[in-house]
A and B are shown apart, each in its own frame.
Chain A
Amino acid sequence: MAEEVKVFGVWGSPFSRRVEIALKMKGVKYEFIEEDLANKSPLLLKYNPVHKKIPVLLHNGKPICESLVILEYIDETWKGTSIFPQDPYKRAVARFWARFIDDKCLPTLWKTCWSQGEEQEKGKEEACELLKILDNELKDKKFFGGDAIGPVDIVANFIGFWLGIIQEITGVEVLTKEKFPKLCQWIDEFINYSIIKENLPPRDKLKAYFQTRLPNK
């Protein structure tokens, strides 16, 4: 039986890009279905009735939701390059940092960039604390995964690409070379890593999109 793999996502979403990177790492062919988040398809609502969000991975008709859950599923289902480390302790560490990025870093960074005044100042302080923690975790490694990208690098993709563009558009400076030289070095390595480079949304298109989100146009 031919395998059917579909990804419901959005071109500009870091979350659906995570899923695509993982599938490409495994050499899995898939069909990408672009969703209109303002007008969600009946299929998306059927496959993710609880959260009604992308990404959704559909494998032989069975839906898997939530990008972190999907990454683990992809790693367990298809052979080839391992996404998660083999060693249980290293896996636990990777899972911990993946959740830290999604639970703490991303919401704070996103809120900070789009807020103003005192709220933004407070957000910047919080964001810097969180980035410092990530910076420390990177230590002397090229990637969070070591010499090659691992699950934490994939999950940090927002920081690797989207954050810089948003900072350009909004003028907010949180992640700077002066404050976080190691993280910025990581960003350079990350966006030039072949499988990442080939799977980023077009920079100009993303810039234009974020431009429309600015509060005072």
Chain B
Amino acid sequence: MSTTEVKVLGSTGSPFVMRAVIALNIKSVDYELLEQNLVVKSELLLKSNPIYKKIPVLIHADKPICESLVIVQYIDEVWTCGPSILPSDPYDRAIARFWAAYLDDKWFPSVRVIVLTAEGDEVKKETLQQVATGLELLEDAFPKCNKDGNFFGGERIGYLDIALGCFLPCLRVIEKVHNLKLLDEAKTPNLCKWAESFCSDAAVKDVIPETDKLIEFAKVLIAKIKARPSN
């Protein structure tokens, strides 16, 4: 398969792009990552994702697929020769999908608020509590999912590992910038151990952005938001 047949429209630093890239790595699929300018969006991005105009977009044989979780499932279903990303049992699949949806719909918005809070600015207690609650829920869910393996997916990285793991760099940014502890050996021992396994996995270790780079990236975004006229 030629390298140009699979393209990812993305941007380093985006957790959602990380999901697509990790999935492709798991399947050992060659791809070209086309770094996108998110301020002046390319014609290709606007054409491939006219509804949301967002990254990631997977382009496979000229067909665009949008939305990171849709992309990960697509990758799993197309490249069947590689390790499976979703569990094989329908109930386990439902649990993985449930938690991934929870992360995106309920949990990440709070994470995002804190990531985009400048150093020294107040982090609202309720927002922090929402992040902590999510982590507690996933901490509890881990032994129900992992079947004695190191990952939510069992012995190998799976769908929920990817869905949650992509946010580890964001959590590290929050911990460093705001001097907080989100993953805690005492409160979330399963997640701490899992995070280590996840970050050192072959499909992940080369695509995890460095915390300091991400902090810089967040600073730029924060400045942009502050520069906007308030509604």
Contact = CB atoms under 8 A, between A and B. Distances in A.
B54 interface: no
B171 interface: no
A95 B70 contact: yes
B91 A64 contact: yes
Contacts, number: 54
A88 B65 CA distance: 10
Given A89-B74, A92-B70, A95-B70, A77 B97 contact: no
A70 B91 CA distance: 10
B65 A76 contact: no
A38 interface: no
Name the prevailing secondary structure of the A interface residues.
helix
Nearest to A103: B105
A70 B90 CA distance: 10
B74 A66 contact: no
Contacts of B98: 64-66, 69
B51 A88 contact: no
A72 B77 contact: no
B66 interface: yes
B81 interface: no
Interface string A88-107: 11011001100110000000
Interface residues of A, number: 22
A73 B102 CA distance: 17
Interface string A73-93: 100110000000000110110
A26 to B, nearest CB: 13
Given A88-B78, A89-B74, A100 B51 contact: yes
Name the prevailing secondary structure of the B interface residues.
helix
B91 A62 contact: yes
B94 A88 contact: no
Nearest to A73: B94
Contacts of A89: 60, 63, 65, 74
A85 B67 CA distance: 18
A73 B93 contact: yes
Contacts of B137: 50
A119 B51 CA distance: 23
Interface-centre pick from A64, A65, A96, A133 (highest chain B CB count, 10 A): A96
A163 B66 CA distance: 27
A89 B59 CA distance: 11
B101 interface: yes
A206 interface: no
A96 B93 contact: no
A191 interface: no
Contact of A72 (B60, B78, B97, B102): B97
A92 B102 contact: no
A184 interface: no
A52 to B, nearest CB: 12
A169 interface: no
Given A72-B94, A95-B70, A50 B102 contact: yes
A103 B99 CA distance: 16
A133 B52 CA distance: 11
B76 to A, nearest CB: 9
B90 A88 contact: no
A77 B90 contact: yes
11 contacts: A50-B102, A64-B94, A64-B98, A66-B101, A68-B97, A69-B94, A72-B97, A73-B93, A92-B70, A96-B66, A96-B67
Top 7 closest pairs, chain A to chain B, by CB? A88-B77, A76-B90, A92-B74, A73-B94, A64-B94, A69-B97, A95-B70
